[in-house]
Each structure stands twice: as structure tokens, then as C-alpha cells.
Amino acid sequence: MSKWTPQDIPDLTGKVVVITGANSGIGFDTALEVARKGATTIMACRNPQKAQSALAQIKAQAPSAPVATMQLDLASQRSVHQFAQAFLAEYDRLDILINNAGIMMVPYGTTEDGFERQLGTNHLGHFALTGLLIERILATPGARVVNVSSNAHNWGEMDFDNLMYTNGQSYTPSAAYGRSKLANLLFTYELQRRFESTSADAIATAAHPGISNTNLASHMQDRFIFRLLIPLMGLFMQPAAMGALPTLRAAVDPQAKGGDYFGPGGMREMRGNPVLVTSNNASHNLTDAQKLWAVSEELTGVKMPTT
């Protein structure tokens, strides 16, 4: 097959797409491309001002696109519930849910619900969001849930005895980030298994952007080692628009199947057009996937019927 590009995105008129973290980085470019193809695009963003600015940029490039912003803070279960309630009151279908937003390698801290920040935002926020919207997803023929992971899942480890690095115990920003990205994949594959076991007309897919030039690591830019590495990273980084392509392919490629994982096709999956890639053995650990699901339901209070 020739290289997959935005020209391969089918017409999305009549489809409803929710993208978390759509005001910047790959989330913005994902929103822009699906809006250009006619999708009713919901930009679910934490900061309303930044969301409005991003919306204006999309409208400038796609004036007739049906795009709206809605406030969503994934680090707040209260906010997740408020978003879901508002969405369900407004929209009668959900064709594609793109769980894109995330934070990366931040210092230890907790969300307002007491969760370690990276797992709380990157996984538990999206788990709860998906669960609160699942009935609308299941009622929409051919719907998809897309979870955005990272190559960082390769160094992630699930430790259910200290899942939240209680009081910062054993916490390092990179280990916690890797765990949250591994959780994204464990969740994807378990959700797909549940879709299959109930013959649901929906699939779960995943993607990673390689090394893309976004503001995800902006909080680290004043660190000496980061400044040293910036010139080197520039050799491997691709624009956010390219980093968005694996997500877009996972979301709209008619040939994509449940459980498919897309990433850049270049060297070490760092850059390039999107292709099917494989994730590590830990991401396919059935015991960990089922345990994470049960713990996630317990922590968020969101039970996820998949029938």
C-alpha cells in the first residue's frame, strides 16, 4: 500500500467525533483533519480560552466545518462526569472517541481525586470518559474508541501494590509516564476483547505519534539536559501534523480492525507515515489488563457495560 496520508481520510459528514486535548499538538491536527472531512468535531479541552483560539484556527482553514468546544479536565472526575452529561444531552451518536490528551513526565503530584497525576489524567480520566459514553458509542453503528499511547509503554511496569506511587514512593516522572502509556494499551486491548465477547458493533484501536514536535514536554525545557538534547531531537522529530497521522488512521481507516495499533513507519517508529506496529508483551498481559480494568472501575466508580 502507498503511504497513508490525510488524502486517505474518507468523507466524515454526519459522523460525530470527540477528541480530548484538541487545542494543541497532535490533538489539534487530528481535529483539523476530521473537521475538513465534514465530521461534527467536538474539541474536549481543559482550558476554554486555548480551546477557543484553536477553534478559530480551524474555522479559518475550514470555515464550514461543524466544530465546537467543550470543557473537559481529565484530572477531575467531576469534570469528566460534567462533560459526559453535557455531551449526552446534546448529541445522539458518537462515531469516534479519540482519547488523545495527556501529560508527560511531570513531577509527582495528585489529581483532585487523589490519583497520581499521570495515571489519573492519561488513563483513569479516559477510562471514566469512555465508560460514561459507552452506551452512546454502542448505539452508533461502526463506532470506534481510539487510545493514544506512546513508545514509552515499553518501559512501563504495572505494580498494583503501589499503582499510584503513594506519597511519591519510588516515583520517577519517566516510570510513571511509561506506566500510564502501558495502561492505555492494556485498556485498549481489554476493551476490544469485551466488544468481541458481546458482538458489539464497535472496535477499539490505538496509536502512537512517534517523536513529534508538540508542547507535551514544555515543562522540561528549562532543564539543562533537555536543552542539550534539543538539537539532537530535532533530527528525529516530525511535525505535529505528521504525528497525528497514526491517530487519524486508527480512527478512520476502513481497513482497521479492532486491536490494531498504528505508529510511524520510519526508523524505530520515531517518524514517518502511519503503519501497523506491534506493542510489547506487557501490553498483552491478560491478567494485568483484567486487574487494571477492575481497579479502574473501583477507583473511578464508573462501571462499563459493553453489552
pLDDT digits (tens, 9 = 90+) for 249-265: 999 999 999 999 999 98
CATH number at residue 113: 3.40.50.720
- Provide CB contacts within 8 A for 166, sequence distance 6+: none
Do the beta carbons of residue 156 and residue 220 sit within 8 Å?
no
Q: Tell whether 113 is covered by a domain.
A: yes
pLDDT at 212: 65
Average pLDDT value over all residues in the chain: 92
Q: What average pLDDT does range 87-109 have in this prediction?
A: 98
In a domain? residue 123:
yes
**Overall domain count for the chain:** 1
Range of the structural domain that residue 48 is part of: 6-300
Sign of CA dihedral 113, 118, 121, 124: negative
Residue 219: predicted pLDDT: 43
Judge whether 296 and 163 are in contact, CB under 8 Å.
no
Residue 102 lies in a domain: yes
Q: Encode pLDDT of 37-59 as tens digits.
A: 999 999 999 999 999 999 999 99
In a domain, 124, yes or no: yes
- For position 61, what pLDDT does the model report? 95
How much is the pLDDT for 213? 62
Would residue 24 count as lying in a domain?
Answer: yes
pLDDT band at 123; cut points 50, 70, 90: very high
Using the predicted structure, report yes or no on whether residue 242 has a pLDDT greater than 80. Answer: yes
Catalytic residue, candidates 108, 171, 177, 261: 177
In a domain, 306, yes or no: no
Compute the average pLDDT of residues 199-222.
76
In this predicted structure, what is the pLDDT of residue 56? 98
* 177 is an active site residue: yes
Query: How far apart (Å, rounded) are the C-alpha atoms in residues 293 and 146?
Result: 17
* Residue, of 2 and 153, whose pLDDT is higher: 153
The verdict on residue 249 lying in a domain is yes
Residues 167, 143 contacting (CB under 8 angstroms):
no
Q: Is there a domain that residue 1 lies in?
A: no
